[in-house]
Structure 1
Amino acid sequence: MNTPQKAIALGIGAALIQALMLIAFAWPAANTAPRDLPLAVTGPQAAMVTQKLNQAVPGGFEITRPADEAAARTAIADREVYGAIVTGDGAPRVLVASGASPAVAQQLSAMAQQLSGARPAAVEDVIAADADDPRGAAFGAMVLPLVMAGIAGGVLLSLLVPSVSGRLIGLVGFGVVGGLLSMAIIQGWMSIIPGPYPILAAVAGLVSFAVAGTIVGLATVIGQPGIGLGALTMLLIGNPFSAATTAPEMLPQPWGAIGQFLPPGAAASLLRSVAFFDGAAATQPLMILLAWAALALILLGVGFLTSRGRTPASATTVSAEPVPA
């Protein structure tokens, strides 16, 4: 391929990547709507409210019917539902949890006003987002830098550190220091999220290790194409479908669910569970992040064993000349 052909191919490739990025980031935002969003409805008029919700937004809600308001509050605290509508005398009351998703809390509040008719519905935020980030904008923006830093760390370690052991040492250092420093900024300086600093820093460090480790592991096994494969997976699929600013059930399916099985989505869910819900529903995202970290270690192990099995060319060259006496 001559120089003009190579230039044309690179230009077309860059344009295709640009188109994919536009689709990946703009399409979910343009199609945000509830899809089987877990919601509790309780009280004497629960059946009527459930019917109205199903008519207003067909397929939008996965409605459960707890016994009473206390059970509904427990379901919210356990991250089983995003909110609850409590019926009884007067207009329905709405329980929301902006700590789980400010976007969902706003939508449930607006929908409650429509259901209540002329009388305004009372809305209670039972698990609120941080007072310094009430709309969750900073929390959502926090995920992208974690992913981008992980990608950058993985690329640098893959290109500049030749040995597998050196790459592993670099990954561990990046995870530990990155987790401590990022949460010191996010929680200590910006005060975006509450919760125990050591656990939040450990989560951020695990995210950094998982993202960077996947790229380093792929690069160790399949070479430089692994860098592009890992980076594009985290950036074009993992980040836009992480649901960090909304909720997985608000994104087009099955992409919202798929995003939760990638490090960015699991990171957002785990950070919310630790920061706002005392660890409720943290098991699944934690296991997903640990699985990605384990995958990185396995890939590094495969690369290490493969490199040890290679025989240097100089060692296989036998001199044809006799050794002088």
Structure 2
Amino acid sequence: MGTVAQPGEYAPDEDSGQILPPAAEKTREMHFWVRAAIIAALGVAILTLLGSALLSISHAPRPHRLPLGYVGAESGRTAMAEQAGSALDLVTYGSRAQAVEGIRRLDTYGAVVTGIDSTELLKSTAASPQVAAALTAMFSTSDGTSGGPTTVSEISPLPAGDSAGGSLAILLQVVVLVGTIGSVGLGRLVPRYRANWARGELPVLFLVLYALVVGAGISTLAHAFGVGNHVHYWKLALCLALINLAVTASVSALVSLIGSAGAGVGGVLYFLLGTPISGAATALPMMPVAWRDFGQVLPPGAGATLLRRVLYFPDASLTTPLLTLGLFAGTGAVVLGAVNLVAGAQRRNSLANLP
């Protein structure tokens, strides 16, 4: 049974068993409170960041410069732009066919076609059920810009296997979460693997193989539940693998540099913050512009854009999301390989000295 030090006596050190003088014990207690204050400050900072992001998105969603096509007289466009203010960003097309093409390329979330005595709203539920419902409600409460009745036409409906439109957000959450787990797992493997400049490809090879397994696994589940059956299996699997690799490689690079804290940074930045502002569940135009733009330069946002275009908009360009994801995956792999090279030259397991 341990002894309890009385006032003025030396206190035993629980780690080493040595007796500490009162001054040393007081210094140790002060260090505890300093570190506790740092942890509390970090918690408040994360709370502020996540709280402000999530509340600003969900407390009262409204459109911010929502791209909407317009076909008709210039006077009607001017009147609609003045009435909408900053809510809409009108894109003028010369014909209904051009407006439909713009929707299918995901350049706009819908279009308004005005005639002499009628107005037609072209909506795109696949682009965002939230935006499609808002546009329908907006134009059904008015007589249209031409003064006649408004008809609603669906241009890009959701497929039968994803009639609610929620599968995209679920796929993204799973692939990002599994990516974070893979990064943590690699961090545990590295200390038990003696780095070697001649075999520096092993951690990177693990991440690539892991991403392929994850992509194939999620694609198999998606097809089993009827999600994305209209998309080639390996096209969907490789897209999911690239999203996973962008997450795992970049987070693993952080882990190799700063240790286990890198996994925490990746989890907060990608999963807790990046997923809600990715546009997978909440339409990008319904978010404040700052969060929307920030979300698209992170792997979850680029991944959500890639999946939406692959699943619902085959005519849309994939260049931007592919470049973003490739940049994160490539940079992470290069950093991880470089760290392994340096550690191998120094005959160490890793620079971060992971636990």
Q: Normalised by the size of structure 2, how large is the TM-score?
A: 0.79
Q: State the SS of the aligned residue for 1:232.
A: helix
SS at match of 1:240: coil
Q: 1:126 aligns with which of 155, 168, 178?
A: 155
Cα separation, partners in 2 of 1:66 and 1:279, compared to 1, 3 Å = closer
Q: CA shift at 1:89, angstroms?
A: 4.2
Counterpart contact for 1:194–1:276, Cα < 8 Å: no
Tell me if 1:161 matches 2:190: yes
1:214-225 → structure 2 map (5 Å cutoff) = 214-225=250-261
Amino acid at match of 1:212: T
What is the identity, as a one-letter code, of the residue corresponding to 1:82?
Y
1:233 to 1:112, Cα distance in 2 relative to 1, 3 A? same
1:205 has 2:241 as partner: yes
CA contact under 8 A between 2:204 and 2:337: conserved in structure 1? no
User: What is the Cα-based RMSD across aligned positions, in Å?
Assistant: 2.4
3-state DSSP class of the match of 2:142?
A: helix
Aligned: 1:29 with 2:58: yes
* One of 140, 143, 152 as aligned partner of 2:181: 152
Which residue identity lines up with residue 47 of structure 1 in the other structure? S
The Cα offsets for residues 277-303 of structure 1, whole Å up to 9 and x where unpaired, read as 115121111111111111111111221
Does structure 1 residue 40 correspond to structure 2 residue 76?
Answer: no
Where do residues 247-262 of structure 1 align in structure 2 (5 Å cutoff)?
247-262=283-298
| Number of the residue aligned with 1:88 | 115
Pair 292,144 (structure 1): closer, same or farther in 2 beyond 3 Å = same
Q: Is the Cα–Cα contact under 8 Å of residues 92 and 112 in structure 1 kept in the other structure?
A: no
Deviation at 1:133, TM superposition (A): 2.8
Selected match of 1:234 from 248, 257, 270 = 270
Unmatched 5+ stretches in structure 1? 313-325
Provide the rounded CA distance (Å) in 1 between the counterparts of 2:259 and 2:246: 18
Report the alpha carbon displacement of residue 126 of structure 1 after superposing the two structures with TM. 0.9
Paired residue secondary structure (1:58): helix
Aligned to 1:323: none
Paired with 2:181 and 2:79, the residues of 1 have a C-alpha distance of: 49
Judge which range, 141-150 or 288-297, deviates more.
Answer: 141-150
Alpha-carbon distance in structure 1 between the residues aligned to 2:321 and 2:229: 18
The DSSP-based 3-state class of the residue aligned with 1:254 is: helix
For structure 2, which runs of at least 5 residues remain unmatched after alignment? 1-27, 194-199, 349-355
Q: 1:62 to 1:101 in 2, by over 3 A?
A: same
What residue identity is the alignment partner of 2:92? R
Name the structure 1 match of 2:137.
110
Check conservation: 2:65, 2:88, Cα contact below 8 A: yes
**Pairwise mapping of residues 309-320 of structure 1 onto structure 2 (< 5 A)?**
309-310=345-346
Q: Which residue of 2 aligns with 1:99?
A: 126
Kindly provide the CA deviation profile for residues 97-153 of structure 1, in whole angstroms up to 9, marking residues without a partner as x: 111111111111111112326976321111111224333223223322221111111
CA contact (8 A) 1:31 1:252 kept: no
After TM superposition, the structure 1 stretch with the greater mean CA deviation from structure 2, 291-300 or 107-116, is 107-116
Q: 1:300 aligns with which of 321, 336, 345?
A: 336
- Aligned amino acid, residue 278 of structure 1: P
Query: Which of the numbers 73, 94, 98 marks the counterpart of 1:71?
Result: 98
Moved more, 255-264 or 130-139: 130-139
Aligned residue number for residue 319 of structure 1: none
Distance 2:85 2:112 in 1: 17
SS in 1 for 2:54: helix
SS class of match (1:25): helix
Kept in 1: contact 2:278–2:304 (CA 8 A): yes
Question: Mean alpha-carbon deviation: is it higher for 2-11 or for 287-296?
Answer: 2-11
Aligned residues of 2:104 and 2:315 also touching (Cα < 8 A):
no
Corresponding residue to 1:288 among 324, 330, 351: 324
Contact kept in structure 1, 2:68 and 2:108, CA below 8 Å: yes
In 1, the alpha carbon distance for the partners of 2:158 and 2:74 equals: 27
The farther-off stretch of 232-241 and 159-168 is 159-168
Q: In structure 2, how many angstroms separate the alpha carbons of the residues matched to 1:130 and 1:26?
A: 31
How high is the sequence identity, in percent, across the aligned residues?
29
What amino acid is aligned across from residue 105 of structure 2 in structure 1?
D
User: Looking at CA atoms only, which structure, 1 or 2, has the larger radius of gyration?
Assistant: 2
Match of 2:81 in 1: 54
Q: How has the CA–CA distance of structure 1 residues 95 and 195 changed in structure 2, closer, same or farther, with 3 Å as cutoff?
A: same
Correspondence for 1:321 = none
Q: 2:169 aligns with which of 133, 140, 147?
A: 140
